[in-house]
Structure 1
């Protein structure tokens, strides 16, 4: 099979540009993201970017999709390597907090920021974000249900409520770490979820007693 080198280079360039767009969106907002702003930040021609995205909205939608890919690569995929059940739930939360702590996105969590930014902005971008949030919520609930099925959480566990609690702690960590001491904020989020799962789990020895 012949590999089209130009296409490969084009995809690499596109991904690099979208990575920069995700960063810019966390700093200045997704709504304000434009081809011109991105071209200035990367010191490239606007016409070159226009070949990939024909409008500001197309760029914004592509940026959301790239942020989803980053989330999958940095948070979901590592967590799925943990055993199914409470350990996978904890691994997911740990991976999320660790991603925040790296400072890869200097403006904080892309999704926490855009969730607030687009609450009152109807349109295709808000619809895409709502779809992403719905998938994430369903995924969290599925992991809780798997832990119940594995006997690692009580049978009367409310999957929707526990998933909400875990996600809320992640969002709070992302937002509070921008204004308060991040190390303390992340530690509170990590230990609270660990304690919650240890309290619920019939065999708390499956989980660590504490986190470093």
Structure 2
């Protein structure tokens, strides 16, 4: 029995997956600078290895493209920020490792415009609810929930004080990280990431962490 047809189908699928990823790699960078609304099939075709009709065929609509871009950005973010700290012990060590990975992610401009989610959150903040806005909201809520889990693990392990309000501590951590990204991008402040590192370390020490566990340098 011939197997040429399935093999050909698999080859087309692989090429299609590679093409889709190549387009999304360009799209997330563009969206981090121009915003999700700034994405069009035409503008993307100018920088991606696919023409306008090919991009339309991949994503169907502008909303389909935007949703795919948010999902792809989540993958990139996880690889840059979450995965590097997974070898650390659960709790404070993993939380601190995640904070440091986030600062490296911002400093290295993994996304051209700084943190993708900070940029698009501002864009969709007042937008009428819809699938794209909800995708961004879900990504931000999942990030906060992950940090809250790490804080609570730190409390359970005795690395943070039992009285620690996990949601409040994560609010402070998020504020420091977001400010660092904004200041480094918009104000070109070379000290922004170091200030954020110290701010988070101070917040963790105030919550009971050993200063040795969260070194500022």
Query: TM-score, length-normalised on structure 1?
Result: 0.92
How far apart are residue 104 of structure 1 and its match? 2.7
1:39-97 deviation per Cα after TM superposition (whole angstroms, max 9, x unaligned): 12226311111221100000000000000001111101112221112111111111111
Larger mean CA deviation between 165-174 and 155-164 belongs to 165-174
User: C-alpha displacement at 1:202, in angstroms?
Assistant: 5.2
SS at 1:42 equivalent? coil
Evaluate the alpha carbon distance shift between residue 179 and residue 202 of structure 1 in structure 2; reply closer, same or farther with a 3 A threshold: closer
Which residue of 1 is the match for residue 68 of structure 2? 62
Q: Which residue of 2 aligns with 1:179?
A: 186
- Taking structure 2 as the reference length, the TM-score comes to 0.90
Q: Which residue of 2 aligns with 1:160?
A: 167
Rounded to whole Å, the distance in 2 between the matches of 1:55 and 1:137 is 30
Map 1:43-192 to 2 at 5 A. Answer: 44-122=50-128, 123-192=130-199
Q: Is the 8 A contact 2:183 2:192 kept in 1?
A: yes
- Report if aligned partners of 1:108, 1:174 keep a CA contact under 8 Å in 2: yes
The Cα shift of 1:198 comes to 3.0
Name the SS for the 1:126 alignment partner.
Answer: helix
Query: Which secondary structure state, in structure 2, belongs to the residue aligned with residue 121 of structure 1?
Result: coil
Q: 1:205: how far off? A: 3.0
Rounded Cα–Cα distance in structure 2 between residues aligned with 1:158 and 1:43: 48
Alignment correspondent of 1:17: 23
Alignment partners' CA distance in 2, 1:196 and 1:118: 29
Q: Distance in 2 between matches of 1:7 and 1:27?
A: 31
> CA offsets, 1:163-187, max 9 Å, x none?
1111111111111111223430111
8 Å CA contact retained: 2:169, 2:203: no
Distance 2:194 2:164 in 1: 25
Residues in 1 aligned to 2:21 and 2:208: alpha-carbon distance in whole angstroms: 41
Cα deviation, 1:177-206, whole Å, max 9, x if unaligned, reads: 112234301110112112322343354333
Structure 1, gaps ≥5 residues long: none
Q: Could you say if the C-alpha distance between residues 202 and 22 of structure 1 is closer, same or farther in structure 2, counting changes exceeding 3 Å? A: closer
Higher relative contact order (CA 8 A, sep 6+): 1
CA contact (8 A) 1:86 1:201 kept: no
Name the count of aligned residue pairs: 209
